[in-house]
Chains A and B, each alone.
Chain A
Amino acid sequence: MTSKPIISITDLNKTFPGPDKAPEVIAVKDVTVDIYQGEVVVVIGPSGAGKSTLLRCLNGLEDFDSGSIIIDNIPLNHHHKNRLEIRKEVGMVFQSFNLFPHMTVRENIGLAVRRVRKKSVLECEKITAGLLEKVGITDKIDSYPSQLSGGQQQRVAIARALAMNPKVMLFDEATSALDPEMISEVLDVMKNLAKDGMTMVVVTHEMGFAREAGSRILFMDNGEIVEDRKVEDFFLDPNEDRSKAFLSKVI
């Protein structure tokens, strides 16, 4: 891959306080990864492995204990300006969609474009129309989230994140809350996005998506990255016992 990574994670550690006096729970342990422009990095692993926590650290939704994260040359720390810049440049799609229920699709997508990117109404309309076309729900522009199916809601959520024109997109189990028949419509949008060259970090249980659209696999267990391989290599010949055990269960 080319020169400088767009995301650079070094020695990242994150623990959660245990319940009561129980020992703290290690969520992310000594993670060091570089992610380059245009890569689709798929993070897989058993539940509780720290995949989502790692992802949430990347835009500062979760604070980390030690180590460093640098995104597009901006270190993620407690400087308000840096944080804001990273929040603008990193789009995120959640498992539970998190659309704003009191706003129409148009308003959901337009809010941050208008308030954060400071675009004019006209530009905002153009961006919204373009993105809804991309995710295939142009006819629902004036609907409220509750009037949409889960798959449609998630596609609006993807459009909302894309409207900020981010450099990186994070997907946190984007299809896990969907009914089976709606998973493919969301995955298709994600695959197209990958084809368009978007840099993506995807936490998912969809091995089909990982194989088809992923460029790299990070296999995590107990907070650590156990394997960091090209997709083809990983599925053909996993190196570690833990990866083998996991793969034998999910495939």
Chain B
Amino acid sequence: MKKHNYLLDGIILIALILAGILVFIRVKTGFSYTWNWGAIPQFFFRIDESGNIKSNLLMLGFYTTIKLSFWSSLAAIIIGTLMGILRTRKNLFSRLTGRTYIEIARNTPPLVLIFIFYFFIGNNITAALGIDEWARNLSGTGKGILSFLFSKPERFAEFLSALFTLAVYEGAYVAEIIRGGLESIQKGQFEASYALGLSSTDKYRFVILPQVFRKVLPSLTGQAISTIKDSSIVSIISIQELTFQGMEIMASTYLVFEIWITITAMYFILTLSLSTLATFLEGRMIKY
């Protein structure tokens, strides 16, 4: 091995440190920002009139982001699995259906999709189906359950259109992941299921999909992480998730850096725990 030139390394390192100090000094003098981290904790939790600790804006937004990501990931996996299967079928109509969905959902900006779904589903469909009314007329416990699982009854229609948009958008990517997984399964598995007389549903349910999900778990996790991150765009239709709350607090306090750094950390905690969980699950899975 060639002898290492430590002198050169040292010089480069010192030069970098000096450059860093210079930039820091320049920014410090030109950048008059008074940090106020002390103002942040009150946005996590607050103490109400009767002295109870209540979640405040940031935590409420955090919960909404979790709920929204959970339901839309779940819906995306269901839509994506169905469409991924359709995409690999022999039947031309099935293939066209799958392909059309994937291409439309993948080749449209999600922001545009959100507007379409918001004005279409949020304003018309939910009203036509009476979902709004149903949510408003729920009993006390019913409202409690709805709030816990989804969102406040009066915002349920918006929540649904956000959920639906994210599910449709992410579902297209899930469909492609599932298709890849399906194509990696040996033909013999399909043939053996056929020869044993299994119905098409049983074939996928017991033989094919369990193998597919094991193979694509890492990619699916990546897609779920994307869903969490992409969920921030629904702030545009006033879903009170993490990013929306951040903008609200920023508008009233001007704590630009503190707020966005805090929110970045919160997203990071969420996505990191998800990928840690997935790694743990992968390790636990039976090796065959």
Q: Could you tell me which A residues sit within 8 Å of B by CB distance?
A: 59-61, 84, 87-88, 90-92, 94, 96-102, 111-112, 115-116, 144-146, 157, 160-161, 164
Q: Is the CB of B198 within 8 A of A102?
A: no
B37 at the interface (CB under 8 A from A): no
Which residues on A sit within 8 Å (CB–CB) of B257?
none
Other contacts beyond A87-B195, A102-B214, A111-B196: 15, CB < 8 A: A59-B194, A61-B191, A84-B197, A88-B197, A90-B195, A92-B192, A94-B195, A98-B188, A98-B191, A101-B211, A101-B288, A111-B198, A144-B286, A164-B196, A164-B197
Does B202 make an interface contact (CB < 8 A)? yes
Interface string of B139-164 (1 = CB under 8 A from A): 00000000000000000000000000
Asked if residues B195 and A111 are in contact (CB atoms below 8 Å), the reply is no
Interchain nearest-CB distance for A52 vs B (Å): 12
- Residue B207, interface by CB 8 Å: yes
Give, as a whole number of angstroms, the nearest-CB distance from B21 to chain A: 58
> From residue A205, how far is it (CB to closest CB) to chain B in Å?
20
Interface of B is mostly: helix
- Across the interface, B191 reaches (CB within 8 A) one of A90, A94, A112, A161, namely A94
Structural contact, A59 and B195, CB atoms closer than 8 A? yes
Interface size class of B (residues with CB under 8 A): 10 to 19
B288 A102 Cβ-Cβ under 8 A: yes
Hey, which chain A residues are within 8 Å of B207, CB to CB? 100, 111
Q: Is the CB of B192 within 8 A of A98?
A: yes
Does B192 contact A102, Cβ atoms closer than 8 Å? no
B109 within 8 A of partner (CB): no
Bitwise interface map of B from 195 to 212 toward A, beta carbon under 8 Å scored 1, else 0: 111110010001100110
CB-CB contacts below 8 Å: B204-235 with A: 206-207, 210-211, 214
Whether the Cβ atoms of B288 and A116 lie closer than 8 Å is no
- Taking a contact as CB atoms under 8 Å apart, the answer to whether B192 and A100 are in contact is yes
The complex places the Cα of A87 from the Cα of B191 at a distance, in Å, of 11
**For the complex, what is the distance from the CA of A102 to the CA of B185, rounded to whole Å?**
12
Are A94's CB and B196's CB within 8 A?
no
Residues of chain B at the chain A interface (Cβ within 8 Å): 186, 188-189, 191-192, 194-199, 202, 206-207, 210-211, 214, 286, 288
Q: By the criterion CB–CB under 8 Å, are A115 and B195 in contact?
A: no
Q: How far is the CB of A194 from chain B (nearest CB, A)?
A: 20
Q: List 22 A-B contacts (CB under 8 A).
A: A59-B195, A61-B191, A87-B194, A87-B195, A87-B197, A90-B195, A92-B195, A94-B188, A96-B186, A97-B188, A100-B192, A100-B206, A100-B207, A101-B211, A102-B211, A102-B288, A111-B206, A112-B196, A112-B197, A116-B197, A116-B202, A164-B196
Least CB distance from B146 to A in Å reads 37
Q: Among A96, A161, A164, point to the contact of B188 (Cβ < 8 A).
A: A96
Chain A residues whose C-beta falls within 8 Å of the C-beta of B199 in the assembled complex: 115-116
Question: Complex Cα distance A158/B207, Å?
Answer: 18
How far, in angstroms, from A157 to B189 measured CA to CA in the complex? Answer: 12
Q: Which 4 A-B residue pairs are closest in the complex by CB-CB distance?
A: A98-B188, A98-B192, A112-B196, A92-B195
Interface centre among A90, A98, A111 (most CB of B within 10 A): A98
Q: Which residue of B lies closest to A116 (CB)?
A: B197
A192 to B87, CA, bound (A): 44
- Residues of A with C-beta under 8 A to B188: 94, 96-98
A59 to chain B, nearest CB (A): 6
Q: Tell me the smallest distance from the CB of A118 to a CB of chain B, in Å.
A: 11
